[in-house]
Structure 1
Amino acid sequence: MSVLSSVPTQLWLGGKQVPSSSGATFDITNPADGSLLLTIADATPDDGMRALDLAVAAQSDWAATPTRERAEILRTAFDLVKERADDFAELMTLEMGKSLAESKGEVTYGNEFLRWFSEEAVRIGGRFTQAPAGTGRILVTKVPVGPVLAITPWNFPLAMGTRKIGPALAAGNTIIVKPAEDTPLTMLLLGQVFADAGLPEGVMSILPTSDAASVTGPLMQDSRLKKVTFTGSTAVGKTLVRNSADKLLRTSMELGGNAPLIVFDDADIDKAVDGAMLAKMRNGGEACTAANRIHVANAVLDEFTEKLSARIEDLKVGSGLDPDTNIGPLINERQRTVVKTLVDDAVEKGARVRVGGSSIDGPGFFFAPTVLDQVPANARLLKEEIFGPVAAVIGFETEQDGIDAANDTEYGLAAYFFTQDVDRALRVASKLDAGIVGVNRGVVSDAAAPFGGVKESGFGREGGSEGIEEYLETKYVALQ
């Protein structure tokens, strides 16, 4: 039996499926071949208000629920996702396109946020101390912020939801999730899992919609909503921050990136190529942490580029359900056009295509895994997030040249570098303008670590012990 038969197709309100107030629906298609997967309910602004009414009604009881009970629900949800890991992986591959191996990896990674925050729920702290002047005592406690709106992207349909849902629920907040229009099915299945885990009605709602602004706009103008957390493009994040100003909403913004990867002349080149493959081609390059700009010391530039090109040329492109596939389709034609436009711009300005460089004909939204070198400084892809399987290789001379080139961006989410010199590792890590720095490794995400950026990559952190703080307010009680 296909996993599609078990996916809710209506809105998720009050712990159950509910039709859209308008009766409207929209289609979810497979980006590998354009085939219809499911037709699901299309939320309206009225449905958003229904979800907020439920969240507000459930907030007090959920906040008063003992942390151990909240933790047990999250842990049960973790166990249920683990039991259904194959279903979640297949569903993500169907609606997003990534290879089945990538989807299985995301299930493991994304589910870990439920386990991690089930453990953090019982560790919400505070402090009690005497005032220095001896005039009283200071009691500091942490309390839930209140109803949360979480807006998630399409590239990691499970993990981008669980790393918001986990800490929000652990901290005692109700939550409304607005998944991406292209990939709502994984989140709807997760809603069913939480119902099976015993999450009380109204604590979590899920609102798939083809018109996000019409649903989220009114919610953000309602004073009962207390926080917005968003993962997505910097442009949309800026709009949400502006819209949050009227009500002074708490916000967390995990936005775009254009991560550099630096290969210094003392690096182990084979390990650097391995790391670059992970940092660049993970998720088909459709990741905000993807290493889009690969800066290589001139002394090792030719060796590195040849080895990277050979590895990328060997990648198999196809349907994610094919076990031999390494790179699936891009999410839609719009995204493929963006990738092609950026590659064509670089080539027109003088970049050389070492591998790939073009769209792949046929059904689905495929783009050939690509390596460009001799990329000129004015190429748009050095400044803009490409979100596709395209690696741009650029040479540099001195250590400071490499650091300067890496920092030459308005983004500041992730950065990577490879060196065998411990002193250089510490020195360079301190100079890179990024919230996350990978040293001699190409994968940096970990539920136990704080994830987030600086500059125009946003603010706030997800994961780690820091992640739950985004969903808590600090209350000071002055005692005699």
Structure 2
Amino acid sequence: MEFTDLYINGKWVPGAAKERFDVINPATEDSIASVASAEISDANAALDAAEAAMKDWAARTPRQRSEVLRKAWELMTARLEDFAHYITLENGKARNDAMGEATYAAEFFRWFAEEAVRADGLLTHAPASGARIMVQHKPAGLAVLVTPWNYPAAMGTRKIAPALAAGCAVIIKPASETPLTMLALMPLLEEAGVPPGLVNVLPSKRTGALVDHMLHDPRVRVVSFTGSTGVGVKLLHSAADQVLKPAMELGGNAPLLVFEDADLDVAVEGAMLAKMRNLGEACTAANRFYVHEAVAEEFTKKFTAAMAALKVGDGTDPSVDVGPLVNAQTRDKVAEFVADAVAKGAKVQCGGETPGGKGFYYPPTVLSNVSEDAECVHDEIFGPVAAIQTFTDQEDVIRRANDTEYGLVAYVFSENMKRALQVCERLEYGMVGLNRGLVSDPAAPFGGVKQSGLGREGGHEGMLEFMETQYISASW
């Protein structure tokens, strides 16, 4: 691997302590790279570089920033295969899934290249005083970005692109399981015209101390985090000390509702996307399947056949549909969820057993007759397991779907649009997929309610997370 050091101020550095950690290929359990581990002094160097670089960047015109982001999209689009390869090696996802992520990741540069020139303000009269109300949006300041391992490219570009569009400089802390993809992106950004110091990458095995230190630096004004609700709560406590602007995309427990009038072929196709995209290792993954009793048998049969047909193996093989989970801990937790559900009466329709040999594999699994007290109903599975329950009453299934502290995404399948939209509006979720198993789109505001987070990523709202609104009162 070529890019394995820290990236600070446009240079590759081994880090103050010169400590390193291994990145493991989940398919083979072999080390594929030794990566530098950042310390507090490295964070200080990155903050200094970001502060200096932002002065010029924020002063550039929106069009100048836009052109750099557009170039980044062009360059990344030309190198999707390379980025997909990095993603598969360190994350494990199958090649087609990795290509999908790389394409999605690149699109954030194009979308925010277009949004960079649309930070529209306002000029109007105050009705009572007659003064002019002038409103503009300004770069908020240095941003600390903390990204997870499940989307090594997209979770970074989804934060970098709007921050740069807004005029901010960033320091990124990628997950220690998957730092290589983000490091490999840096030469591309250089080529696109991103000046030294504007984007800095700090892999580290001491995430908590490193991030906490940066969040207490007075120059930092934004923290953007994607990950578990538990970690998000800790970061919010740290952010409160400096009254930082938080953007938090946290955990989920997505319900998928299949009504008796659903087109079952559409529902199965959508369920496969909602469950198996990224092997279920996504906060948007369908977790709880609620299927109307009248169609439960047919849906389960069709869905099970689709899940059982998936080929499991090393994601570098183009014929493979499903790669390994990211690490042994994730695999073992998935196995525990299945064992608990079966002990409480669930029936295994396919999968359900951890294979032997190397690699953190778990097969696509369908469970039917899942009880309400099964642990997988109340916690994120984060793996390729679908837990099916049935319902007969609309009011009851809405209540069950909303009965969680999470509120990121839900999925609804019904051919009755009046009823479907009524149900969507009553679901306590920031996003709903209606007859679709995929909601993520750079042009849409991604985010949840309740303990699934604060703020939005993507859409126009994504750039505003990195801006502050200034109001000027004037008379002339």
1:248 match? 243
SS of the equivalent of 1:447 reads coil
SS of the equivalent of 1:299 reads coil
Give distance in 1, aligned partners of 2:432 and 2:122: 32
Q: Are residue 62 (structure 1) and residue 57 (structure 2) matched?
A: yes
Q: Are residue 220 (structure 1) and residue 240 (structure 2) matched?
A: no
How far has the Cα of 1:13 moved from its partner? 0.6
Give distance in 2, aligned partners of 1:346 and 1:253: 31
Q: Are residue 400 (structure 1) and residue 395 (structure 2) matched?
A: yes
SS of the equivalent of 1:76 reads helix
Match of 2:438 among 443, 460, 464: 443
How far has the Cα of 1:100 moved from its partner? 0.3
Q: Are the aligned partners of 1:262 and 1:417 in contact in 2 as well (CA < 8 Å)? A: yes
Q: Are the aligned partners of 1:10 and 1:19 in contact in 2 as well (CA < 8 Å)? A: yes
Match of 2:103 among 108, 112, 122: 108
SS of the equivalent of 1:252 reads strand
2:328 match? 333
How far has the Cα of 1:457 moved from its partner? 0.4
Match of 2:302 among 291, 299, 307: 307
Moved more, 130-139 or 244-253: 130-139
SS of the equivalent of 2:295 reads helix
How far has the Cα of 1:356 moved from its partner? 0.9
How far has the Cα of 1:119 moved from its partner? 0.5
Output the amino acid matched with 1:459: L
How far has the Cα of 1:135 moved from its partner? 3.9
Give distance in 1, aligned partners of 2:128 and 2:409: 44
How far has the Cα of 1:192 moved from its partner? 1.4
Give distance in 2, aligned partners of 1:308 and 1:143: 49
2:256 match? 261
Match of 1:381 among 370, 376, 380: 376
Give distance in 2, aligned partners of 1:81 and 1:140: 35
SS of the equivalent of 1:128 reads strand
Give distance in 2, aligned partners of 1:265 and 1:130: 54
Q: Are the aligned partners of 1:8 and 1:192 in contact in 2 as well (CA < 8 Å)? A: no
Give distance in 2, aligned partners of 1:235 and 1:341: 20
How far has the Cα of 1:352 moved from its partner? 1.1
SS of the equivalent of 2:333 reads helix
1:53 match? 48
SS of the equivalent of 1:154 reads coil
SS of the equivalent of 2:407 reads coil
Give distance in 2, aligned partners of 1:58 and 1:86: 31
Aligned runs of 1:76-115 on 2, under 5 Å? 76-115=71-110
SS of the equivalent of 2:33 reads strand
1:124 match? 119
TM-score by length of 2: 0.99
Give distance in 2, aligned partners of 1:322 and 1:404: 43
Q: Are residue 148 (structure 1) and residue 175 (structure 2) matched?
A: no
Structure 2 unaligned spans of 5+ = none
Output the amino acid matched with 1:284: L
Give distance in 2, aligned partners of 1:465 and 1:193: 25
Q: Are residue 349 (structure 1) and residue 344 (structure 2) matched?
A: yes
2:233 match? 238
Aligned runs of 1:1-80 on 2, under 5 Å? 4=1, 7-80=2-75
Match of 1:457 among 424, 442, 452: 452
How far has the Cα of 1:133 moved from its partner? 2.1
SS of the equivalent of 2:389 reads strand
SS of the equivalent of 1:123 reads coil
SS of the equivalent of 2:429 reads coil
Q: Are residue 466 (structure 1) and residue 458 (structure 2) matched?
A: no
Output the amino acid matched with 2:126: A
How far has the Cα of 1:210 moved from its partner? 1.1
Q: How many residues align structurally?
A: 475
Output the amino acid matched with 2:269: D
Match of 1:188 among 183, 190, 208: 183
TM-score by length of 1: 0.98
Structure 1 unaligned spans of 5+ = none
Give distance in 2, aligned partners of 1:422 and 1:199: 46
SS of the equivalent of 2:352 reads coil
Output the amino acid matched with 1:343: V
2:356 match? 361
Give distance in 1, aligned partners of 2:305 and 2:114: 44
How far has the Cα of 1:136 moved from its partner? 1.8
2:166 match? 171
Give distance in 2, aligned partners of 1:8 and 1:461: 31
